Structure 1
Amino acid sequence: MVVGPVPGQKRDQNHPSTSTPTLDGWLWARFRTRSDAGTIRQRERRRPTVGGVTGSSPDPRPEIGPRDEINPRPETERPLASGARLEIIEPGALALIEDRGRPGYLEVGVGHSGAADRAAHALGARLLGNDPDTAAIEVTMGGLLARAHGRLHLALTGAPAPATIDDRPVAHATRLTLHDGQLLRLATPTHGLRTYVSLRGGVDVTPVLGSRSTDTLSGIGPAPLQRGDLLRIGTDCADLPAADHAPHPAPDPSGPVTLEIRPGPRAHWFDIDLIEEPGADRTTTDHPTATAPTWTVSDRLDRTGVRLTGTRPLERSTAYRSVELASEGMVPGAIQVPPSGEPVIFGVDHPVTGGYPVIAVVRDSHLDRVAQLRPGDTIRFAPAR
């Protein structure tokens, strides 16, 4: 029996009602106990949030369920599946299938989506000889337990989570082999938020609008992984590369994360600068972040956005306090300021439009850093170079 997270099928399981609380604070719940993981996992699907700001539209995706074969496509439209499978025993708080996303659909209201940490996803593909657009599993805050059916090659990238194969520790950013019946287990990352499990050949699910990615805001793509899913593995890959390990820089988990930004279209609406403390003396230093205030990542975050708290909320200048703003197009990394004054950095599953002013935009090459922020992390903004 093959069970795969493909839209259009039903699961034979009962799920929380639509009155389930929103995703706000789910990461802290994940820290405190694993017993709530099943309930927590559904929140990302029930009511979309933007940095903790609750949306109102339910997830339109049908849920999926076991069957002998799931929606097979003609062989000309899909990579040949290998005989190997990966069984999900425990998905952790949230496990999604992600590739490089689905660009080109903003005009019809569909965002890019894709892997939140693009560099980590790309590294996993290179280690395994995969096509760069191969789908991998994005695991948030660890907790994944999976069993091999057949022999699999895999790599773990992104947030470094202590991992074992049959209770034997294995290395990060290294090509690994999971033999038939062996168990892969991921613990909570030591720092960072999202770990990527890349499989040689990739996860073989039906593309939606040209992508196998899950968009948690629009509800497009495969549903989040659940206990009992049995994932098909493709064979669309090149020869294994000579290198089976990749050095990966370890960020300092104790220091503030620096995010470079460019001014947004409404930067002039605010008296307070994201980069400088009010009244800071720049004559005593040339370092761009020496006088920058620190911001703290709140527990209100998901793939749509990250809400920040600071020493004081951002307030509009007097001239713009009562100005209404028509909805404008949004991009990943846009820093929007809602009425609370707590800035929200948009992530990969951001809404395609928004009606709050955008004070700044995070440099594209720093969006992977945003993807790995977790509650309690501190950040500083600096001018983009």
Structure 2
Amino acid sequence: MKFEVLAPGPQTTVQDLGRPGLAALGVGRAGAADRASLRLANRLVGNPESHAALEVTFGGLRVRFSEDTWVAVTGAVCVVRGGRSPGLGVPILVRAGEDFSLDAPSQGLRNYVAMRGGIEVTPVLGSRSTDTLAKLGPPALTPGMTVPLGRGTLPFPAADLAPQCAFPDELVLHVTPGPRWDWFVTGTLAQLASAPFQVTSDVSRVGVRLAGPTLVRANDAELPPEAAVPGALQVPPAGDPILFLADHPVTGGYPVVAVVDEPDVDLAAQARPGQHVRFVLRNQKPGA
């Protein structure tokens, strides 16, 4: 079983749950930027949650299958074309030779397309995911590429519909104080939560650069590289935070003022340029 890529859209990569536990070797976890959506897509077609699927950034994907294939699409709100009863959050039977495609989303940024059996590209360090920063894993999809599918599956779930909530106009992300919150002037954490930030055009699988209240450092010392995690809000000298996503570097040289809760990192991965993000602070520090 396989499918042919007719059009990949702006960026479509193969993703699974990544390569955890290799940071000491300089290898990040990578994997799906919105892990919950990947897991859901796999469940809908009877795959283990860890199976590889497609991560489609801002639509435009068009593929053709060699055999009848069950497919599920989750994540951003978009129009799905092709197959029997196409839509979001449902198993879709796509017939052999039929085109299957996604329009650009009206809400959110990334879709996940799971095929029954999973994508069977060659694993690298135990994962089939594409790490765009480290250049590990399979290349991004290109027109004319043929991608193989596997046959390892589970029984279909009892439910054949998984309704998804609409994406809010303003994303709300919960954060806890980061390891270097005290490198900033008094009141910075309160300032972080006081007004929305805007998502700039600098958005990728590595991270999201935000524009808003300038976060001012009180400590200008040189910071040795420190371990970084998904959801870290790293603040360069200009004071505009960068929110790390799936392909973030394993270390960073700028102070991390706060860290987004892991479940909310999935939502952050759906942030679109121009959208507003508001932070809700947990565990307020005295004087912060």
Quick check: which one's strand share is greater?
2
For residues 366 and 270 of structure 1, the distance between their equivalents in structure 2, rounded to whole angstroms, comes to 24
Q: Offset of 1:161 from its aligned partner?
A: 1.4
For residues 93 and 275 of structure 1, the distance between their equivalents in structure 2, rounded to whole angstroms, comes to 36
Question: Does residue 235 in structure 1 map to residue 151 in structure 2?
Answer: yes
Question: Does residue 244 in structure 1 map to residue 160 in structure 2?
Answer: yes
Contact 2:108 2:167 in 1 (8 A): no
Indicate the residue corresponding to 1:357 in structure 2. Answer: 255
The runs of 5 or more residues in structure 1 that have no matched partner are 1-83, 279-288
Pairing partner for 2:217 from 300, 316, 331:
316
Contact 2:79 2:105 in 1 (8 A): yes
Pairing partner for 1:379 from 273, 277, 284:
277
Contact 1:275 1:380 in 2 (8 A): no
Query: What is the one-letter code of the residue matched to 1:262?
Result: T
Q: Describe the superposition over 1:113-147 as per-residue Cα deviations: whole angstroms up to 9, x where unpaired.
A: 00110110010111111011100000000000111
For residues 253 and 158 of structure 2, the distance between their equivalents in structure 1, rounded to whole angstroms, comes to 50
Question: Does residue 113 in structure 1 map to residue 69 in structure 2?
Answer: no
Indicate the residue corresponding to 1:46 in structure 2. Answer: none
Runs of at least 4 residues off by over 3 Å: 272-278
SS in 2 for 1:276: helix
1:111-260 to 2 correspondence within 5 Å? 111-165=28-82, 170-252=86-168, 254=169, 256-260=170-174
Q: Describe the superposition over 1:31-61 as per-residue Cα deviations: whole angstroms up to 9, x where unpaired.
A: xxxxxxxxxxxxxxxxxxxxxxxxxxxxxxx
For residues 103 and 142 of structure 2, the distance between their equivalents in structure 1, rounded to whole angstroms, comes to 17
Q: Offset of 1:169 from its aligned partner?
A: 7.2
Query: What is the one-letter code of the residue matched to 1:146?
Result: V
Question: Does residue 263 in structure 1 map to residue 161 in structure 2?
Answer: no
* Greater Cα shift, 104-113 or 237-246: 237-246
**CA root-mean-square deviation:** 1.6
For residues 274 and 148 of structure 1, the distance between their equivalents in structure 2, rounded to whole angstroms, comes to 52
Contact 2:206 2:247 in 1 (8 A): yes
Q: 1:299 to 1:273 in 2, by over 3 A?
A: farther
Q: 1:273 to 1:96 in 2, by over 3 A?
A: farther
Q: Describe the superposition over 1:201-220 as per-residue Cα deviations: whole angstroms up to 9, x where unpaired.
A: 00111110000000000001
Contact 1:272 1:314 in 2 (8 A): no
Pairing partner for 2:7 from 65, 83, 90:
90
SS in 1 for 2:243: strand
Indicate the residue corresponding to 1:302 in structure 2. Answer: 204
Indicate the residue corresponding to 2:286 in structure 1. Answer: none
Q: 1:275 to 1:380 in 2, by over 3 A?
A: farther
For residues 248 and 313 of structure 1, the distance between their equivalents in structure 2, rounded to whole angstroms, comes to 34
Q: Radius of gyration: which is bigger?
A: 1
Pairing partner for 1:332 from 201, 214, 230:
230
SS in 2 for 1:192: strand
The TM-score normalised by the length of structure 2 is 0.94
For residues 169 and 175 of structure 1, the distance between their equivalents in structure 2, rounded to whole angstroms, comes to 8
Identity among equivalent positions (%) equals: 43
Q: Describe the superposition over 1:249-284 as per-residue Cα deviations: whole angstroms up to 9, x where unpaired.
A: 1222x3x21110010111111126565349xxxxxx
SS in 2 for 1:260: strand
The TM-score normalised by the length of structure 1 is 0.71
For residues 205 and 186 of structure 2, the distance between their equivalents in structure 1, rounded to whole angstroms, comes to 27
For residues 181 and 243 of structure 2, the distance between their equivalents in structure 1, rounded to whole angstroms, comes to 14
For residues 147 and 327 of structure 1, the distance between their equivalents in structure 2, rounded to whole angstroms, comes to 45
The runs of 5 or more residues in structure 2 that have no matched partner are 284-288
Indicate the residue corresponding to 1:100 in structure 2. Answer: 17
For residues 74 and 208 of structure 2, the distance between their equivalents in structure 1, rounded to whole angstroms, comes to 22
For residues 179 and 375 of structure 1, the distance between their equivalents in structure 2, rounded to whole angstroms, comes to 36
Q: 1:114 to 1:273 in 2, by over 3 A?
A: farther
For residues 268 and 358 of structure 1, the distance between their equivalents in structure 2, rounded to whole angstroms, comes to 10
Question: Does residue 344 in structure 1 map to residue 242 in structure 2?
Answer: yes
Q: 1:275 to 1:327 in 2, by over 3 A?
A: closer
Contact 1:363 1:384 in 2 (8 A): no
For residues 187 and 305 of structure 1, the distance between their equivalents in structure 2, rounded to whole angstroms, comes to 24
Query: What is the one-letter code of the residue matched to 2:249?
Result: P
For residues 277 and 161 of structure 1, the distance between their equivalents in structure 2, rounded to whole angstroms, comes to 35
